[in-house]
Amino acid sequence: MLGQAGDGAVLIGTRNHLHAPMVLAALKSGRHVFVEKPLCLSRTELKQIERQSRIIPRVCRSGLIVASPRGASS
């Protein structure tokens, strides 16, 4: 999917141990990234992600998406 032309951003919401490799692959393909918490599991992975996001300047953010009950107001 990352090898195809398309959207400029990806959302990663997989198992925690897959976050860092997928974030790195997405950044290397030139995509902006939003990844569910945690961003990574080690300092080494964090440094790799930080380094890659500087090579090809892209936004990489971590956060949490929570589904609210139907009809809930904000």
Q: Quick one: fold of 9-63?
A: Rossmann fold (3.40.50)
C-alpha 24/C-alpha 53 separation (Å) is 8
Percentage of the chain modeled with pLDDT above 90: 58
Q: Where are the alpha helices (DSSP H) in 1-74?
A: 19-28, 43-55
43-55 helix and 19-28 helix, angle to the nearest 10 degrees: 10
Angle (CA) 70 9 43, round 5°: 100
What lies within 8 Å, CB to CB, of 59 at 6+ separation is: 32, 33, 53
Each residue's pLDDT tens digit, 30-45: 899 999 999 999 999 9
Query: In this predicted model, which residue has the larger pLDDT, 71 or 55?
Result: 55
